[in-house]
């Protein structure tokens, strides 16, 4: 089991590296002589923490405030344009947040890689949708004696994700004003309990500076005429999970089969059938036999296709669940990366409403 846990840590590191180098995945599709346009931006952010459970009511009336630095590379090639009829930004995010509750939550420092497709609204205004993920350092984890009221996170090092939409308005040849709406989330993915997570929407206001004056190449939006992919995936997953009452880690194994049908240049619809065996369920339900800790579900979802990456959001009910300790419906959010043709690796988070249950590190085949 220790060896498997070691492999999991290395696998997470690999996926973080892949995320930071998603620029290369897109850049490999672009022309060699096209320059990336570099810029940096800084934003102030202010928001609130969603109280999604009575168990975290001790942190109500907490209003996080922070500052965010983005290092951006705007892709400006023809082949990149053909991915999404847009010019995506890729880059690195660094942010600091004071959670406005120093005794319980402390502060957080986030480092993430992001992809942000950019769509032109007018000559001076662009709309962006950004997906960010990476590690997060948080200063006041749960401790039974010293910090018993922090049920949001129990490790100093967690996973940070951000979904963001923003408007950029050009104010002169090198500078833009940015207004963004962001949904931020911190969780350890169920590695250790308690793990209610921190969900905090924020509003951001800032400025972006380009290293040099530039004008984007005007390209016509074209209807997608390529082959719309139909794909069958099968994958195996593993992750170590810890319960609050026990110092040991217990394995969670999964088997997933999925069908994906591409409906446009960057979008696909999916349906999944999956089985999971969660050994932690034996701890709280000792009367269950081994078959009864297996759970099965059917999910429908959406994939965003960008080069070798597949970003997915899925939801569905359990169709076999003897334990019944959670809601009937659950969600999964994840990313797949195509290593070589027909072979992929993935990282998914399974959640019940706003609470992450566990992560799934997977490897699989496509047909």
Band (pLDDT 50/70/90 cuts) for residue 19 is low
Higher pLDDT, 244 or 32: 244
pLDDT recorded at residue 307: 81
Question: Distance between CA atoms of 65 and 122, rounded to whole angstroms?
Answer: 31
Q: Checking DSSP bridges between strand 107-116 and strand 230-242, what pairing results, if any?
A: unpaired
In whole numbers, what is the pLDDT of the chain averaged over residues?
87
Decide if pLDDT at 152 tops 50. yes
Predicted model pTM = 0.78
pLDDT digits (tens, 9 = 90+) for 166-183: 999 999 989 999 999 999
The residue with tokens 């060699």 is 32
CA 239 to the chain's CA centroid? 17
Q: What is the largest CA-CA distance in the chain?
A: 69
CATH of domain 230-366: 2.40.128
Question: Distance between CA atoms of 196 and 111, rounded to whole angstroms?
Answer: 21
Written out in words, the top-level CATH class of the domain with range 34-210 is mainly beta
Residues near 293 by beta carbon (within 8 Å), at least 6 away in sequence = 277, 278, 279, 281, 282, 285, 322, 323
The top-scoring range by mean pLDDT among 15-19, 190-194, 329-333, 354-358 is: 329-333
* Burial of 177 from C-beta contacts in 10 A (0-12 / 13-18 / 19+): middle
Decide if pLDDT at 312 tops 90. yes
Q: Which residues pair with 337 in a beta bridge?
A: 309, 345
Question: Distance between CA atoms of 294 and 189, rounded to whole angstroms?
Answer: 19
Residues near 279 by beta carbon (within 8 Å), at least 6 away in sequence = 241, 250, 251, 252, 293
- In this structure, what token pair is assigned to residue 182? 């962001």
Output 311-315 pairs: Cβ under 8 A, ≥24 positions apart: 311/131, 311/335, 312/270, 312/336, 312/348, 314/270, 314/272
Question: Distance between CA atoms of 267 and 290, rounded to whole angstroms?
Answer: 39
pLDDT recorded at residue 253: 96
Helix, strand, coil shares, percent, the chain, to 5: 10, 55, 35
Q: Where are the domains of the chain?
A: 34-210, 230-366
């Amino acid at each position: 089991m220790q060896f498997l846990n070691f492999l999991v840590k290395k696998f997470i590191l690999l996926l973080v590296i892949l995320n930071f180098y998603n620029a290369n995945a897109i850049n490999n599709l672009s022309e060699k002589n096209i320059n990336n346009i570099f810029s940096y931006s800084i934003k102030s952010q202010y928001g609130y923490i969603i109280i999604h459970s009575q168990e975290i009511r001790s942190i109500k009336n907490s209003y996080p405030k922070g500052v965010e630095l983005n290092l951006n590379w705007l892709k400006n090639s023809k082949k990149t344009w053909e991915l999404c009829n847009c010019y995506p930004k890729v880059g690195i995010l660094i942010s600091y947040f004071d959670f406005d509750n120093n005794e319980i939550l402390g502060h957080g420092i986030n480092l993430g890689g992001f992809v942000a497709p950019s769509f032109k609204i007018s000559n001076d205004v662009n709309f962006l949708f950004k997906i960010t993920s990476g590690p997060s350092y948080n200063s006041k984890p749960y401790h039974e004696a010293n910090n018993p009221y922090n049920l949001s996170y129990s490790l100093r090092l967690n996973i940070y994700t951000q979904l963001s939409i923003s408007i950029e308005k050009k104010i002169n040849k090198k500078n833009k004003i940015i207004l963004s709406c962001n949904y931020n989330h911190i969780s350890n993915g169920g590695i250790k309990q308690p793990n209610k997570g921190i969900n905090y929407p924020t509003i951001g206001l800032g400025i972006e500076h380009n290293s040099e004056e530039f004008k984007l190449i005007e390209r016509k939006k074209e209807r997608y005429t390529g082959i719309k992919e139909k794909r069958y995936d099968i994958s195996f997953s593993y992750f170590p999970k810890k319960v609050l009452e026990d110092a040991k880690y217990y394995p969670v194994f999964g088997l997933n089969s999925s069908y994906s049908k591409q409906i446009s240049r960057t979008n696909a619809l999916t349906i999944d059938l999956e089985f999971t065996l969660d050994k932690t369920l034996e701890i709280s339900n000792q009367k269950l036999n081994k078959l009864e800790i297996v759970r099965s579900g059917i999910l429908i979802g959406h994939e965003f296709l960008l080069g070798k990456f597949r970003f997915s959001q899925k939801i569905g009910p359990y169709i076999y669940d003897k334990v019944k300790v959670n809601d009937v419906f659950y969600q999964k959010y994840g990313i797949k990366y195509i290593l070589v043709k027909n072979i992929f690796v993935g990282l998914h988070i399974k959640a019940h409403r706003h609470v992450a249950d566990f992560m799934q590190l997977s490897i699989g085949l496509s047909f």
